[in-house]
Homo-oligomer: A and B are copies of this chain.
Amino acid sequence: MVDVAPDRSATLVHVGVVRSDPRDPIESRLATIAAGLRAVLDEHRPSVVAVERVFAQQNMHTVMGTAQASGVALLVAGERGLPAATHTPTEVKAAITGYGAADKRQVQAMVARILRLDEVPRPADAADALALALCHAWRGDAAGAASGPLTPAQRAWADAERLARG
């Protein structure tokens, strides 16, 4: 979670990873993830939630699990009345480094610099989450869904933009 000022300067509020036991059944794992996300939302009360946009191009098993977890993250936002937005990894890389094909370590190092942290947040997923949050704050309304429901025309535009950036 980050605080981003109108001049785009950013401060770290909270960073973490919700872990579930891979030996638990999927319904329990998703409940653990939801509980972890709710605890953070209730403690820090953000104004918007950003979730990575999942594509079905990689390993199918992984993608389905990731999509289910992203559905839970979006749900938790919706239940709190928070707008949610999704961004692709390419959009995140471009927003953070100015270069959509940047490697993961470049993005993570940049996140640490932007937030004036002495070290790159660990694990990598935590740094990726901060990159996503910064990406969302910086893209703002232009990326769609930054503040409340879109009109159908805004949504069509945002979708077209996303496809173009893919």
Contact = CB atoms under 8 A, between A and B. Distances in A.
Contact of A75 (B34, B77, B78, B152): B34
A124 interface: no
A78 B28 contact: yes
A100 B58 CA distance: 27
Nearest to A24: B149
A16 interface: no
A63 interface: yes
Interface string A33-76: 01000000000000001000011100010011001111110110
A134 interface: no
Interface residues of A, number: 36
Interface stretch (A5-13, A79-87, A109-117, A135-143): A79-87
A1 interface: no
23 contacts: A23-B152, A24-B149, A25-B83, A26-B86, A27-B74, A27-B77, A27-B84, A29-B78, A30-B75, A30-B78, A31-B75, A31-B79, A54-B64, A55-B60, A55-B64, A56-B56, A56-B63, A64-B67, A67-B68, A67-B71, A68-B74, A72-B75, A75-B75
Given A27-B77, A30-B74, A34-B75, 8 more contacts: A25-B78, A25-B84, A25-B149, A25-B150, A26-B78, A27-B84, A31-B79, A68-B74
